Structure 1
């Protein structure tokens, strides 16, 4: 089996702005040909990491390698990168063609080769025929396509995208995220994508890097990140979640039994413990998490389900699904389901259930 090379390697990157530590020892590998997304809340260090790779800033400590070459202190124009910014950054006085041609002139590409590359880049982003338009004559989505084409036309080793879709409306964002994913696979360029949008990251990425307060919390495929979060922060940041408190009253080879303050007991699969300390004992205070879509509601007959009775407090229709809020012995518990019973109303008592394998536990 052929080993996949790393196009980017960051080792022990520290960065401070004044007294604020924005990167606190980041280690990261970016595989050849993948689309890797840096995801996290504002101030987590994702854009700083991207700027470090681009060469706009230098780390106070640590090493950066691109294609196996040490890049500490190497200026951006010598790193052979393509960059797409949130605000497009197109030259307003230049046509689409001239915007793409600008970078090729800097790279001293001859006119024949330049014309061929521009034609190909515009075909990839589906902008053929608009070469002579100015940015002001284009829609927001078209301007962003031109910005991507301009980054690709120089045939960079790496493509860096810093929140490129955040200025667009929801429908256009969805269309363009699929376009970026398609063209990234078509061109094969290693791509690093920065976003704070979970849906964007989950739908586009080969792997996701979850960051918080200058640290890497978890790296994995979208499925791994969503289904097997390693920390409470990752579980809460990705997707929706329900949380409940309790204490451990029984442990066996298969399940951990947690008793809530009201005396009701819940089962958690023994392997579903998050955090650094995963060794549980009877009496430990814990917090339980479960995704709304993992909660079954209505007649639940599966013998594997942990069953409970709740009271409906709110029902929201979302088009493709229903969002139902319930009162679960003092806790608010959210359920997501595709259909509802017409007899359900606010105040109705209903059965809910979940599998112990769908509940995550973290020690407090």
Structure 2
């Protein structure tokens, strides 16, 4: 039985539908991320699970028990917010002790749990500090410890890293994943940051306008997006528009608007209508890391290889972002290294495999 079940959840604010009858199962011990742009319904979904919002229609179950109308404090969960929400007049120890006191945990057990939680989040020795005396990263660690110290059945995190700088976000991301696996607590993480979702999650739920676009592992979401929205929202891509010239079981031949002839895989058609025939207009998408650059046209391992000219080069530290014009099509390639002789204006060959290109019918 899933730890959390949502069935036909519908929620409306005025005329705005924020949850459009979604269904979702969250398995015991998994870290599931709700991902999507602002207003997609991810925080509303979290608040419905937490009990901060009632749904207009549908059911919510936690550990097999129906939770509709059950208040948050009776749902046995820990919550971590974007803004930390620590009591400013209490020390770290007092912040952690507060929830345990409400749960009527014995004093000796409280002391043991607080010590364990502080060790988990690597904050031992800072029990006597006040929130104002700590950095943002330290305050968020305390907020996580406070949520964990009550030993909840569910851990809910609402964009907990968005107020931190890039280095701290990366560090705490690693810590959250380590803690979650060590404790085995079922965790629901809300973010609009695709990198966070890909690095943290066992599964990702991509949401858009109150609907679930796709549910899958990070690899499934990135490599095999089911909709155009998912492909756009997760990662970067180059788009080309064209017309199907021929199609069979092995390949789809497309001519782009600028005359470029490309080969694609029939298994990589996105969207509801996956029936293509010659003459259909399509959009083609390919990710920059799938495009390799070469000095010669002879690349037998590549299904597509086209001569072009470098129009832009950006050094990113760990890779080069190179823009190449192929018969007027501007494509982006992400290369771990480039030929030292290359510069803007250099002629190169850009190549990729047919299965790396996605199509959608216009």
* Common fold: TM-score over 0.5: yes
Q: 1:303 is matched with which residue: 293, 300, 303?
A: 300
Q: 1:239 is matched with which residue: 235, 241, 253?
A: 235
Q: Does 1:221 align with 2:217?
A: yes
| Equivalent position of 2:159 in the other structure | 163
How does 1:309-324 map onto structure 2 within 5 Å?
A: 309-324=307-322
What is the alpha-carbon distance in structure 2 between the residues aligned to residue 355 and residue 39 of structure 1?
29
How does 1:186-335 map onto structure 2 within 5 Å?
A: 186-299=182-295, 301-305=298-302, 306-335=304-333
What is the alpha-carbon distance in structure 2 between the residues aligned to residue 33 and residue 262 of structure 1?
51
| Equivalent position of 2:38 in the other structure | 42
| Equivalent position of 1:63 in the other structure | 59
After TM superposition, which residue ranges in structure 1, 4 or more long, deviate above 6 angstroms? none
Give the superposition deviation at 1:263. 2.7
Give the superposition deviation at 1:318. 0.4
Q: Which runs of 5+ in 1 are unaligned?
A: none
What is the alpha-carbon distance in structure 2 between the residues aligned to residue 210 and residue 220 of structure 1?
9
How does 1:129-148 map onto structure 2 within 5 Å?
A: 129-148=125-144
Give the superposition deviation at 1:301. 3.7
* Cα deviation 1:139-173 (Å, max 9, x = unaligned): 11110000000000001010000000011110011
| Equivalent position of 1:104 in the other structure | 100
* Cα deviation 1:40-86 (Å, max 9, x = unaligned): 01110000000000000011111100000000111101101100000
Give the superposition deviation at 1:36. 0.3
Q: 1:15 is matched with which residue: 11, 15, 19?
A: 11
Q: Which runs of 5+ in 2 are unaligned?
A: none
Q: Structure 1 residues 202-211 or 255-264, which shifts more?
A: 255-264
| Equivalent position of 2:361 in the other structure | 363
Q: Structure 1 residues 342-351 or 87-96, which shifts more?
A: 342-351
Give the superposition deviation at 1:302. 3.1
What is the alpha-carbon distance in structure 2 between the residues aligned to residue 7 and residue 202 of structure 1?
22
Q: How many residues align?
A: 360
Three-state SS of the structure 2 residue aligned to 1:6 is coil
Give the superposition deviation at 1:103. 0.3
Give the superposition deviation at 1:264. 2.3
What is the alpha-carbon distance in structure 2 between the residues aligned to residue 203 and residue 278 of structure 1?
31
What is the alpha-carbon distance in structure 2 between the residues aligned to residue 145 and residue 253 of structure 1?
53
| Equivalent position of 1:73 in the other structure | 69
What is the alpha-carbon distance in structure 1 between the residues aligned to residue 342 and residue 121 of structure 2?
49
Give the superposition deviation at 1:188. 0.7
Three-state SS of the structure 2 residue aligned to 1:342 is coil
Q: 2:114 is matched with which residue: 112, 118, 131?
A: 118
RMSD between superposed Cα atoms in Å? 0.9
CA contact (8 A) 2:251 2:263 kept: yes
